[in-house]
A and B are shown apart, each in its own frame.
Chain A
Amino acid sequence: MIFHSLDFLLFFLFVLAVYWQLGRRAQNLFLLGMSYFFYGYVHPWFLYLIFASTVVDYFCGLTIARHPEKKRFVLWFSIVSNLTFLCYFKYFGFFVDNVAELLHLLGLPSFTNTLDIFLPVGISFYTFQSMSYIIDVYAGRLKARENFFEFALFVVFFPQLVAGPIERAITFLPQIEKERSISATDVRDALFLLVWGFFKKLVIADNVAYIANKLFALEETTFALAWTGVFAFGVQVYADFSAYTDIAHASARLIGFKLSPNFNHPFIAASPAEFWKRWHISLSSYIQDYIFLPLYFRFRTRGVRYAVEKGLLITFFLIGLWHGAGWNFILFGIYHGMLVIVYDRCKVVTPIGIRENPWMRPFQILLMFSLANVGFLLFRESEMDYILRHLTLSPLAATGELQWRAACFLFGQALFFSLPLWIHTAYAHMGHRLIPAESWFRTFLQVMVSAAMFLAILVARGDSEEFIYFQF
């Protein structure tokens, strides 16, 4: 079930109407049932997979608690089972394609991949989420849960099931286990976030998607047109993914839960490391704790720089691979890993007066934004020929007047649609401090802005596209 559908609206109203009439235990059982309904709505067989994953991790958790001497074996059993599901559905087709291609290149008898494996929505998200439970139980940071239904709700909780944020068992399970309440401020803020999320998806992301799709589909292009397309896609992917996150946050809040942050205005990052501290925060913090730090500690005996850089490259390779089974995603990850390493090395030789000078920050942000756009090109374009074409286009090459005008017009349009994102960033950094959270003026402002956004959704929504991160 997708958020921007009438089905979801009716489903969620029904959930709200029943949920707040129940006690905590009944609320949990009801949410569990509704979450399974939500996930199995389009493809009921998805449920077998998520249920299998839940059962495996539930019993692995209990086994670790009851038989600590076997905990290492059980941890690996759980990780291998989870990753087997993930790899089969997400990467097996990609692997077979590449083997066939390799055989062909070597002049050996090859074959055509006739496998058509359907990727279950959200598998990358809930697999990571479920693994966090087992790793934390293994590490002794979390007690294994006896209540199967509460653990199952943690895995399948519908607001963030399909595209995150990736919740940690250590922060989310305690919320399931305590009484929930909701205040008038919660309702006000959640409703505002809901409208803001739908506005970002339907007005910003879907409209700039139209520009990006057209420009990426051009057979003949120019520097200005090609990079306008990349800029539009960058705005699209941020608006689209953060919209999903906002709707997830708002829905969770309306049933008394608080989800982890996932975005913190990534386009004002001044370095690649800061970008990943602001972009898809639940994934980057997960990767930091469960992959990067263990790698660093594994390699640290061979020197700090070696450990950090090797750890970063492996980590970002995995971030790329997590996003999708394609060489462009792997390149996307390695590219960002290299950026972090290069920036870190430059930091050592850049005087602190330049590095930390607030007057330099706008230039640093602009540079990082440009570099992030190269990353978005790799994220979007799966054909290597097209990627190379974009990267080798010269800004100085002669451009027809018509193409130049078209590029300026489309760039202006993309900029116009992205304007609310920039205003939101400015407000978050300045206006937020001026208007107290509990003030009547904040409520008045939210009502007015919500009304304007609602109107914009009615008159200016783009052709509805599926959320980009649903494919992961």
Chain B
Amino acid sequence: MSHAPHDARMFKVLSGVLGKSVEEVARLAERQEPHGESFWDSLQHINIILGLEAEFGIRFELLEAVDLKTVPLIRAKLAVLVR
């Protein structure tokens, strides 16, 4: 498992929104395929965006938000946006 600098805070947000343990979220971080998780629906997607924006003090643009489909994609986006 890779440990990007923002993983702990990102996992905390995802865990809170998705109702999964941090370990389960960490396992999701290993998977690349989008749209696979039945619990990751449109509303959860919005909640994830809001949670990440609040936690990291950033604001996603529409095109960025559309691409936040998987934990690895979120990790990559945070690496760019959060200094």
Instruction: Write the residues of chain A forming the contact surface with B, with a CB cutoff of 8 angstroms.
Output: 139-141, 260-261, 264, 269, 273-274, 276-278, 281, 284-285, 288-289, 292-294, 296-297, 304, 308, 312, 340, 344, 352, 355-356
A356 to B39, CA, bound (A): 12
The complex places the Cα of A172 from the Cα of B17 at a distance, in Å, of 31
Asked whether any CB of chain A lies closer than 8 Å to the CB of B62, the reply is: yes
Contact B65 A277 (CB under 8 A): no
A274 near B41 with CB under 8 A, answer: yes
The 9 closest A-B pairs by CB, nearest first: A273-B41, A297-B62, A277-B41, A288-B42, A277-B38, A289-B66, A285-B35, A273-B43, A139-B63
Q: Are A293 and B66 in contact (CB under 8 A)?
A: yes
* Number of residues on chain B facing chain A (CB within 8 A): 20
24 A-B Cβ contacts within 8 A? A139-B66, A261-B36, A264-B38, A273-B42, A273-B43, A273-B44, A274-B41, A276-B41, A277-B39, A281-B35, A284-B42, A285-B35, A288-B42, A292-B42, A293-B65, A293-B66, A296-B46, A297-B62, A297-B65, A304-B46, A308-B43, A312-B42, A352-B19, A356-B19
Contacts of B36 in A (CB 8 A): 261
Count the A-B residue pairs with Cβ separation under 8 angstroms: how many? 51
Enumerate chain A residues within 8 angstroms of B46, measured Cβ to Cβ. 296, 304, 308
* Closest partner residue, chain A, to B20 (CB atom): A356
Q: Are B43 and A278 in contact (CB under 8 A)?
A: no
Cβ of B45 within 8 Å of any chain A Cβ, yes or no, is: yes
Is the CB of B25 closer than 8 A to any CB of chain A? Answer: no
Q: List residues of chain A with CB within 8 A of the CB of B61.
A: 297
The reply on B29 being an interface residue by CB < 8 A is no
Q: Are B43 and A340 in contact (CB under 8 A)?
A: yes
Select from chain A the residue with minimum beta-carbon distance to B37.
A277
Would you call A288 and B45 a contact (CB within 8 A)? yes
Q: Mark B25-63, 1 if CB is under 8 A from A, else 0.
A: 000000000011111111111100010000000000111
Cα distance, A466 to B80, chains bound together (Å)? 50
**Which single residue of chain A is at the shortest CB-CB distance from B63?**
A139
Q: A277-B38, A344-B43 are in contact. List 13 more A-B contacts (CB 8 A).
A: A140-B63, A141-B63, A141-B67, A260-B35, A273-B44, A292-B42, A293-B45, A297-B61, A304-B46, A304-B50, A340-B43, A352-B19, A355-B19
Are B43 and A261 interface neighbours, CB within 8 A?
Answer: no
> How far is the CB of A121 from the nearest CB of chain B, in Å?
26
Which residue of B38, B50, B62, B66 is within 8 Å of A278 (Cβ)? Answer: B38
Classify the interface of chain B: helix, strand, loop or mixed. Answer: helix
Complex Cα spacing A264 to B41, Å? 13
**Looking across the interface, which residue of chain B has its beta carbon closest to that of A287?**
B42
- The answer on a CB contact under 8 Å between A274 and B62 is no
CA–CA, A85 and B2, complex, Å: 49
Do the beta carbons of B62 and A269 come within 8 Å of each other? no
Chain A residues with CB under 8 A of B41: 273-274, 276-277
Contacts of B67 in A (CB 8 A): 141
CB distance from B20 to the nearest CB of A (A): 10
Find chain A residues with CB under 8 A from B42 CB: 273, 276, 284, 288, 292, 312
| Shortest distance from the beta carbon of A289 to any chain B beta carbon, whole Å | 5
Chain A residues contacting B45 (CB-CB under 8 Å) are 288, 293
Q: Which residues of B contact A261 (CB under 8 A)?
A: 35-36
Q: How far apart are the CA atoms of A285 and B42 in the complex, in Å?
A: 8
Nearest Cβ on chain A to B76's Cβ, whole angstroms: 14
Residues of chain B within 8 A (CB-CB) of A285 are 35
Tell me which residues across on chain A come within 8 A of B50, comparing CB atoms. 304
Once bound together, how far apart are the Cα atoms of A251 and B76, in whole Å? 35
Instruction: Give Cα distance in the complex from A356 to B19, angstroms.
Output: 8
Per the bound structure, the CA–CA distance linking A107 and B57 in Å amounts to 59
A141 to B40 Cα, complex, angstroms: 22
Q: Once the chains bind, are A269 and B38 in contact (CB under 8 Å)?
A: yes
Which of A277, A294, A304 is the one whose CB lies under 8 Å from B40?
A277
Residues of the A chain whose Cβ atoms lie less than 8 Å from the Cβ of B19 = 352, 355-356
Write out the residue numbers on chain B whose beta carbons fall within 8 Å of the beta carbon of A340.
43
Name which residue of chain B comes closest to A140, CB basis: B63
User: Is the beta-carbon distance between B35 and A293 smaller than 8 angstroms?
Assistant: no
CB neighbours (8 Å) of B38 from chain A are 264, 269, 274, 277-278
- Residues of A near B35 (CB, < 8 A) are 260-261, 281, 285
CA A427 – CA B40 in complex, angstroms? 23
Would you call B43 and A293 a contact (CB within 8 A)? no
Q: What is the CB-to-nearest-CB distance from A261 to chain B, in angstroms, rounded to a whole number?
A: 7
Residues of A contacting B44 in the complex (Cβ-Cβ under 8 angstroms):
273
Docked pose: A297 CA to B62 CA in angstroms = 6
| Nearest CB of chain A from residue B16's CB, rounded to whole Å | 11
CA distance A296 to B50 in the complex (A): 12
**Docked complex Cα distance between A297 and B39 (Å):** 22
